[in-house]
Structures are given as structure tokens and as C-alpha cells.
Amino acid sequence: MKPITINDLCITFGAVQVLHNISLDVKAGECFGLVGESGSGKSTILRCISRLNDSWTGDVRIGDSAVRDMEVSDRCRMMQMVFQDPYGSLHPRHSIRTTLEEGLRINKLDDREGRMIRAMRDVGLPVEFLDRYPHQLSGGQRQRVAIARALILEPDVLLLDEPTSALDVSVQAEVLNLLVRLQKEKGFTYLMVSHDLAVVDHMCDRFAIMQHGRVVEVLPREAITQGGATQTYAQDLIGASLEYEHAI
Ligand SMILES: Nc1ncnc2c1ncn2[C@@H]1O[C@H](COP(=O)(O)OP(=O)(O)OP(=O)(O)O)[C@@H](O)[C@H]1O
């Protein structure tokens, strides 16, 4: 288990500054949520940490190691990302076996077959599915494969970018429960982007509310149902989400 420490993270695309001096501490083994309106910079934070975006300034550490100084292979072993879209994140012409084996081969891990079988079991998929292709799986099953691909490298940190929002509501709950169980069993640190405060309430210990590339407030999960936000924008966002839940 390792903490994530973000200090003064800034990024500018063209003339537009998208992240403004983001500082966050995610504790080892914690599930920390990022919420806020569309375009507020949530996914960009994950993309900076994983270095999919690389033109940022500031300091990001996993444990004591600065992500900028890590070799690619060390970084991949330490953190993995699960994307929103299980359709787009798997190669359509690679079998599940090829998809899972790739990371093991690149990272020179032994006992590949054993690791793949354990990963499939961990995410609740039949081992025979190793020989299927993405189009032969449902959306929820594909997202389970994406999670298996992330956890097979035994990372400390999982970056989750709206991991269930592309899924049917019934499947969403299954995948969220899977993530909760895996975190308990394996002690991952999660940093998770979500639009949905009900998901944050189910999963997260704490969460940050973002607006226009800034952190407005960091709150404990209880603030969603019991109040406690001090910033007007945070109060409004939580209030609007509760009203919406009561209305449906
Ligand atoms: N590579 C890029 N080049 C230019 N602009 C970008 C790039 N990546 C993100 N942006 C812009 O940065 C802003 C923040 O985007 P980001 O995807 O982080 O928002 P978000 O809070 O995750 O939104 P959503 O909830 O809609 O996914 C947006 O205005 C987006 O258009």
C-alpha cells in the first residue's frame, strides 16, 4: 500500500490553464474520489499522474518515489489506470489472453498462465474467457477484463476514471462491488473520478470537489448525507445531487 502525494500540479493546454496548483494527499489504502462539473479537470489529474499527459509542472509521488523519476516499467508496476470505456480500452483483435499476457511479458513476470488464471478468478470471470475476444463479452465482462489487466501487475495504486459510467445500472453495482472487494483483499490505493455522488458514497473514504481546475474542498464521505461542506459550490453540488436522488 502506498500513498499518493500531489503538490502544486498545474497544466496548460495552448493558452488555457486547465489545472491550477492542485495539492492532494491520498492515504495508503484509501479510496479517494474526484467529483465536479464536466471539464473541471478530474480526468486530467489522473492523466498527469499516469503521465499520459506529460507537460505538467509540480510534484506527484507514489510513496516516496516521484513519478517523473520512475522508469516506465516501475511506474506500470506501481500504478495502473482503468478507463471509463471498456469498449475502447481493449484491443478488438487481441484475445483476452493476449491482452493480459502483454503486461506480464513486458514486465518479465514469471508464471504467466498461473497469474492470468488467478486474475480471471479475482474478477469473477470464467478462465475459458481467456480465449475470447472483446466483442464476445458483455460491457460488464469487458470492464472486468480491464480491471484484471490492471491488477495482474500487482500495482499499489489504481487510477479509476469513471470505471462504471459506461455500464448498465445493474452491472455498475456489480463492478463497484468487485472494486470494493479487491481493495479489501489487496489493499490498493484508489483515486477515482466519478460524476455520481452515490458512487462516491458507496466507495470513497474522502473526496475532493473540483471546479474550473481547482480543488474547492476536500470532504469525508459522511458530508454527502450528513452535511459539513463549508464552500458554497460544494454545498450546492451535494444539495443538487441529493435532490436528484430524491426525485427519482
Ligand atoms: N489534451 C488536451 N488538449 C486540450 N485540452 C484538453 C486536453 N485534455 C483535456 N483538455 C481540456 O481540459 C479540460 C478538463 O478536461 P477533463 O477531461 O480533465 O475534465 P473532467 O472534469 O474529467 O470532465 P468530464 O467529467 O466531462 O470527463 C476540458 O476543458 C478539456 O477540454
- Non-local CB neighbours of 136 within 8 Å, separated by 6+ positions: none
pLDDT at 246 over 70: no
pLDDT at 94 over 70: yes
**pLDDT tens digits for 186-206?**
899 999 999 889 899 999 999
pLDDT at 244: 65
- Non-local CB neighbours of 146 within 8 Å, separated by 6+ positions: 82, 83, 86, 89, 90, 163
DSSP conformation class of 69: G
Contact 41 CB / ligand 1 (< 6 Å):
yes
To the nearest whole number, what is the mean pLDDT of the chain? 91
pLDDT mean over 89-117: 91
Atom in ligand 1 nearest the alpha carbon of residue 162 = 27
pLDDT mean over 146-155: 90
Q: Measure 128 CA to ligand 1 centroid, in angstroms.
A: 38
pLDDT mean over 108-122: 92
**Residue 146 to residue 59: CA distance in whole angstroms:** 28
C-alpha cell, 26: 491520498
pLDDT more than 70, % of the chain: 97
pLDDT at 166: 77
pLDDT at 10: 97
pLDDT at 248 over 60: no
DSSP conformation class of 227: -
pLDDT band at 231, cuts 50/70/90? very high
Q: Measure 40 CA to ligand 1 centroid, in angstroms.
A: 7
pLDDT mean over 113-120: 94
H or E, element range at 189: strand 189-193
pLDDT at 14: 92
Protein residue with least CA distance to atom 9, ligand 1? 44
pLDDT at 209: 96
Instruction: Map out the domains of the chain with their CATH numbers.
Output: 4-247 (3.40.50.300)
pLDDT at 243 over 80: no
Lowest-confidence segment of 58-62, 98-102, 104-108, 207-211 by average pLDDT: 104-108
